[in-house]
Structure formats: structure tokens, C-alpha cells
Structure 1
Amino acid sequence: MKKVFSIILTVFLVIHLIAPVFAANVNAKTGYITVEEYDYSAEKTTIKRADIIEVTNVVSEVMKPIEHPVKNDNQFFKYFLVDGSTVLTALEDTHIFYVEKLEYKEGKYVSVKRYEQDKEHLVTEETGYSYYTKGSYIRIDEPGEYAVYVIFCGSEDKGYCAYIKVAPKGTAKPIEPKVKTAKFSNAKIRTNDSQNDLLVEAYNIDGYNYFKLRDIAYILKYTFTSDKKFTPKRFNVIWDPEKKAINLISDADYQIVGGECHVWHYPRTVKAVECTSEIYKDGRLVQLDAYTIEGYNYFKIRDIAKLFNFAVTWNAESKTIEIDVNKDYEE
């Protein structure tokens, strides 16, 4: 009887010891590193995104740094949080990439170790041209922070296209969007072709005023240039429910959905949730600070002005935000 009890107790302890490890991986999934490519097949050249590298054991993938700010000029930068270990696999031939382990020292990242694709998938032709075939991979088992670089078209140019944090096995938890308190703050906006102020709804978050994206698009829809033409700095907003992405189309007539420039006439405080949707301008990924409030996305007006290159200034005397589509954006 004691022997049976001992076996049961041992099994019970083993299950309880390993259960947290398996439970932590319930949310793990496969992620993809993507790049932007020009599509010449249509009459008008467009930019499309292509998945080129598969990443395993992904717990979270976001468009903002997990640890420290990283300066990056590429439009397809993404951050992955991985549980325990990961395997990066090329989805097509000739996708050459490598990984560097990073350490954060004196305010910047430095490379301390380099990983390259497995040699079994390396092919060298008679001409001397070498490339990796589909399925080539890099395995990372050591916790830490990593940068993924892609070499384009066999050239020496490299693109820093992803940041990966590998957490010790069983410790990675999904990254939740930040939740802030947003204070109601109506604002007056005047455009270059109007002498009247337009009252719009705004919210103050951490000292910055955020405006509804569709309100800004609506205002530019009816703002004309000095020669009374539609401004090329207007834009349309399209929501992609499948990809849960926001698409901004430049020099396009904004399509009204209803509720634009609706103003609350009483002070209130609401919850603002960090927007986790990917944002594209003309097919190209952009990174903007944004918050979702009651189903609408709010942005800093200066970020939108910079993105579409129109002037925005603050008139302290009249306490009015002035938009001028005849002028370019200035810091």
C-alpha cells in the first residue's frame, strides 16, 4: 500500500512540476518576418508584403520595442517575444539571413555572437553562385535579445528586420497593450481655406492631445489648395478586418462612415488602450503612437501632418490649431 501511495505521490509531484511549463506554452504560435517588395505585375507599381522567415514559439509580436528603444529606418521592423527557444526557417530559396545576439551597454545594443543558416541547405552552383534553399534554418536555444538581418538579392546590403527576445522556458507571457487615462479636451482647428474654427473632439494622454484619425481625414476632405483644388495631402482610411490593420491611402477622397467630427460637450475621463493594429500608408508599414478610445483610433495630429506632409501650427493667441495644405510639414 505504501509503495502504491509513493508512486501516486511521485506522479502527482511530477505533473505539478511540469504543468506550469506546458501551460506557459499554450499561447505560443508561429510568427512571420516580412519584407516589403515592389509588385510590377499591375499597371501601377505597388508595394506588397511577403512572409520570408517563419519564427516558432512566439508568445507575442508587436510593433514597438520590448526592452529598449532601437533606432531603425526600415518600415517592416517587428518585435517578437519567444518562450524558451525558437527556430527561424526560410520560406523560399535565396532568403539569406543571419542572427546576432545583443547586449545593451552604455545606452546602445552591441553584437556579442553571430548565428548563420545551416550548411545542409547551402547550394553552390558551377558558376560559383551560392544560395540557401527553402527550409534553411537557424535555431536559438539561449535566452537573450537578438537581431535578425536579411541580405537582399545577394547584395552586401543588409536589412535589420526583426528583434527577438527569447525568455527562459515557461516565463514568457503575452504582452498586453498599455491602458491609459484619457481626459476629454475639445480643440479648435482652422484650415487655410476657412476663416471659421471647427470644434473637434480630442483627448489628452500623458500631456499630448490625440485626435480621431477619421476626423482629420474628414477635415482634409474639405480643405482646398490656394488654387481651389482638392489637396493631394488628403487621405482615405480603410479598415482591414481580416488582418486587423489600418490602411491609409494618400491623395484619395475620404469615404465618410458617419460620426466624424462629433463633439461631446461635457468634460469626461475615459480609458484609452494602446492601438495594436498594424498601420499602413500606401501599402508600407508605418509606426505611429495611437490609442483606441470607444472603438475609434486617436493619433497625434503632428504625426499625421508629418506622414502626409502638411503644415500644422499652434496659434497661442486664438488657442487654435492651424492646418495649411499649401505648406510642407516642419518640425
Structure 2
Amino acid sequence: MTITTRDPRTESAPGPVAEPRRPRPRARRNSRRPVWDEEPSLPATALKGLALTAISFLAIYPMFAVLATSLASQEEIVEKNGLVLWPDSPTFAAYEQILSGGVVTDALLRSIGITVIGTLCSVTFTVLMAYGLSRPRVVGGRFWLMSVLFTMFFSAGIIPNFLVVSELGLLDSYAALVLPVLISAFNLVVVRSFFMGLPQELFEAARIDGAGDFRILLTMVLPLSKGVLAVVSLFYGVAYWNAFFNAMLYLDMDKWPLSMILRQYVLLGQPVADNAAMASEMAAPTQAIQMAVVVVSLVPIVVVYPFLQRYFTKGVITGAVKG
């Protein structure tokens, strides 16, 4: 009888036992990706293009009609019932009339001065207050922040504001157009949120080097905040340029800015000439002069806006989210 022995060196180790394959679950027929993850179809793309084209047309058409009417003659305006889309013989008589040193020219210069000075003052005080409220362990910081937020939802009203301006001796003064609206609560919150989102290590390193608050603000914070400052400056500038209600309440007629002249002449139909004799000697048609005043009031904003548009997303959204 022969006995065989197994050699463990030559015997191969048993391989792993293969598990039985499980059937894959069937994909649901109704399962779809979110709308924002789907590939845009050709009809959807065409529909979006038509919608954007229609919206652009509705925005550009009134501005083009205003510009064309300001360049039209009296015969064309009467013939086309006051709406000229393409003047046959364009003329700049309306612009020469309003920019020849009369009421509109003086009001334009006043508006430029109020807008520039008011924007500089508002941005300066907004930055100073926002930087102070953004620093930790500020005495009374939460109280002042809550006070600012309170003004976003509740206002004193016209009569209390008028009484305050009158008691401060600001009636018939350009300061009445700046001081009551010096700091906007919304702009302050945006700038404060942006400052709070800056790296705290920069402030700590500057403190170690012996820098004070004003030096940190001027040399470190402001160079990093160009986007939000540009957007806030545009907000303040547009607000000062278009403001007319405070001017109507606090200023005499000889100090009115361009927005009040625009309201007085275009909406109320009253002439902008210095006197009735000059109004009767107008070379340009009345409606052309009205449209020319509208164009002159729109030009500064239209010129400045494209240069600051690229800062909108970086300034406003970043300042609003980081807070």
C-alpha cells in the first residue's frame, strides 16, 4: 500500500471564491437631472435669445427715440406726432439753446458739484464707519450696528426731517442735500461685510509691525477694496445725481440742480428760459429742447457706468456673502 503525501510548497493556494453577481438595479425612467445641469436644447437657446432681444429692444427704443427727437426740427415733430425715430435733417439747435449759458447750464454745473462732493463725503464716512464696525471688540459696536440696521426699515418721515434741517440752519444750502443722506445703511452693510471677509492675518501682522488703525486702513484695506468701493461710489453718485425731492424741499429756485430743471420743464411743461421774452425767442422746438434736457441728464451716468460695471459682481456679491 502506497501512501502519498502532499507537498505544501508545490500545492497552489486556493483562490478566492467569486461572489455571485447581483443584478444591477434598473434606472428609473422618471429620474432626471436638475434643470440647471441639463444641456440647453436648441429651442430653449433660441427662446432665450428672443427674450434677450426683446428686452434689449424695449430698453434701447425709448432712449433712441428721445435722442432722435432732440435732433429733429419742428416740422418733423409735428408731422410724426411728437415721436421721431430718424430725423431727415438733424440739427443741434436744442443743445445749443440749453448749453448757451442759461438755466440748464448753471443747473448742470450745480449737479456735477453736488454729485462729486457728496459722493466723496459719503464714501469717506461710509468707509470709516464700516471699518470701525468690522473690527472685533469695538466698544458699543453692536449697538451702533443695530441702530444703522434700524434705519433701513423705519424712517422719521418728511416733517421731522424738515424740522431737523431747519433747526440746523441748512435751509437754502447745498449741505441740506448731502448731510441728511450722508451714509446709506445698505452701502454701509455691504462695505462692512467686505472688510470682515479680509484675512485677519494681515491685520495681526500689521499690528505686530506697529501700524495703527488709520495706517492699516489706508495702506492695506483700501487697496484690497477697489471693487466694493467702486460699486458703492456709483450707488452714491447716481443717488445724488437723480435726487430732486430734497432740492424741492430745501432749496430756492435759483439753486436748483439739473434734476429739478428736468422735472420742472419735462413733466410740468414749464420753459427753462430765464424769462418769458427769452422763452419766446427760442430757435429750437419746445419738445426737442425737452428731449435734449433728458439726454444731457443721462449722459454722465451712461458714460461712467461701463467703466464700473465689471466691479459689480466682485464688489456687491462678495461684500454681501462674506458677513
**TM-score of Structure 1 vs Structure 2, range by shorter chain:** under 0.3
* Pair member with larger Rg: 2
Specify which structure has the bigger relative contact order, considering alpha-carbon pairs within 8 angstroms and separated by 6 or more residues: 2
Q: Which has the higher helix share?
A: 2
TM-score, length of structure 1 as denominator length: 0.20
TM-score, length of structure 2 as denominator length: 0.20
